[in-house]
Chains A and B, each alone.
Chain A
Amino acid sequence: MSGNVLVLAEQSDGQVSDATYELLGKGRELATAWGGTLEVATFGPTDVSGQLGIADAVVRVDHPALASYTADAYEQVLLQLLTERAPRLLLLSNDTVGLDLGTALAVSWDASQVAYVMALAVDGDTPVATAQILGGKILAEVEITAPRGICTVIGGSFPLAAGKGDGTPEIVTAAAPGGLDAPRISLRAIVEPDTSDVDITAADLLVSAGRGVGSKDDLEVVQELADALGAPLSASRPVIDAGWMPKTRQVGKSGLKVKPKAYLSFGISGAPEHLEGMRDAELIIACNTDANAPIFDVAHYGTTVDLFDLVPAIVEEIGG
């Protein structure tokens, strides 16, 4: 059984992503423990191999269908590489690309997957992954007993500095599979982020509302506080999905990552996807009636007072 680890490099505008460096650092550790090699796959016309010095080998594949990311093309190429290079473990980030490819490759490459991984170690020959499931309420420690494994890793789980190195990896250029000439998914247009609204990532102070607010009308209560503090109102995913607030205000994995001087949350329980987007705020004050809500594990201060009692009291306190 090989002890090689393969990482898929993600990039935008020619820059390898932070999540990729996290995977590379962990991949380096595992490959070294197994006496194997760390290989990194990079697709498309942009050569980022100069940023991948931590790896032993960089496998490049280019084809017109890889000019921008599509699940169909990436999956075909990655499956071919997995078959040819036969790693013990494939590491992907648990983002859109990982959600597209991870389980599809688990089926087509006949591998076993652990999703939502936030810790990864080896026990002898066996990879042992710890996954965060059920909204962050449960951790599952899972052995990958199959000879081929795939881990999709939550962003922010591993230090990214460990993924940077100044070695000179072997550059391997692989041919693209024939299937890419007849793509079933093609790009119509890239949609850039909406910049017409206030930029919540630039705010020193954010007032943020979650599902616990209950309804669009009740959002007014929290909006009043935001106005009183001169802070933008942001929100967690359920509030955005319900259509109560625009997407530009969403904090979290599928929204924006924020790092204000203070983050005041009301009615947010703290799903892992939300915590990923705000845990680096300098001061976090959380209000939630459930004393066991995961938000209190990252908050500096917390209260279980009902937000509909607390928010008007804060507004009054500021006014007074």
Chain B
Amino acid sequence: MRIAVILKAVPDLVEEMELTSDGTDLDREYLKFVTNEWDEQALEEALLLKDSDGAEVVAVGMADDPDIEQALYSAVAKGADRAVTIAGATGVDTRSRAAAVAAWLKDNPADLVLSGVQAPDDLDGQLPAALGAALGLPHVSVVVSVALDGAAAIVRQEFSGGRAADLNVTLPAVLGIQVARQAPRYAPVTRVRQVMQSTTIDEASVAVDEAAAGIRVRRMYPPEKTTHAEMIDGSPAEVAARIVELLRSRSLVKG
């Protein structure tokens, strides 16, 4: 059983989003990048499957992603067996990334491919479905648990309103993980440092046809604030008094 986990470096949403001077893209030069949080969930689910069933977990990133080596060393420190970067795809768009990962997977097949259900910057769609279609494999998104059962995976897929479906999915398959069965494990910095000394990240390169994107960004902009909260200033006690008054006026506080 081999499980490939595809990781993406995405802008840290805590930061201010700066745009390029022509306003059609993010200015990535000074942005801080972190691993897509849903990809972290996918990694955890893969490691849980390794713990329970035994599997080789391969963490995969794009060579051009900022700080991707750090994310891959961290994945190995958490328990991934090896890490790979794929060169050949540029850009953050899902379609070219999916084409590159699909090309790599054709030569390095996996029984299960796990990735986050979405990413904050996947404007042209989500990787798991793109990958499933590109490889001709069954794929399921919004997955909240995975179990292995011979040549199939038993997968729980979540719908809105708390409904879910348990599915049999023939392997190989691609799964878009919403959340792992437990919170992602933590790798201590000392362990990550050790891994950086002892592990070599494999470097793969693929040739991907430059397909026409078919979409053109006219402009990006922060949402215009049509409404904004009335801000309550003052000491904690003053703010608290105002909030309680608002609730009392609606008879929502007893007494």
Contacts and interface: CB of A to CB of B under 8 A. Distances in A.
Given A96-B160, A107-B133, A190-B164, 12 more contacts: A96-B142, A112-B215, A133-B123, A134-B120, A141-B220, A145-B214, A185-B167, A257-B161, A297-B223, A300-B229, A301-B246, A302-B231
Contact of B183 (A204, A242, A248, A285): A242
A285 B217 CA distance: 35
B98 to A, nearest CB: 7
Main SS at interface, chain A: mixed
A126 to B, nearest CB: 9
10 contacts: A75-B133, A112-B213, A138-B17, A191-B164, A193-B161, A262-B246, A284-B229, A298-B229, A317-B240, A318-B244
Contacts of B242: 301
A101 B140 CA distance: 9
Interface in A228-276: 229-230, 240-243, 247-248, 253-257, 261-262, 264
B240 A310 contact: yes
B157 interface: yes
B196 to A, nearest CB: 27
B229 A301 contact: yes
Interface residues of A, number: 100
B160 A303 contact: no
Contacts of A145: 214-216
B74 interface: no
A102 interface: yes
B165 A189 contact: yes
Given A115-B125, A262-B252, A100 B167 contact: no
A69 B168 CA distance: 13
Contact of A142 (B19, B123, B222): B123
A204 B232 contact: no
Chain B interface size band reads 35 or more
A45 B221 CA distance: 45
A305 B239 contact: yes
A127 B166 CA distance: 37
Interface string A281-320: 0111110000110101111111111100110111011100
Contacts of A83: none
B176 A141 contact: no
B243 to A, nearest CB: 6
Contact of A99 (B126, B222, B246, B250): B126
Contacts of A71: 129, 138-141
Nearest to B11: A134
Contact of A107 (B95, B159, B221): B95
Contact of A144 (B141, B169, B176, B214): B214
A134 B212 CA distance: 24
Given A185-B140, A313-B240, A104 B123 contact: no
Contacts of A296: 228-229, 231
A305 B13 CA distance: 21
A189 B157 CA distance: 11
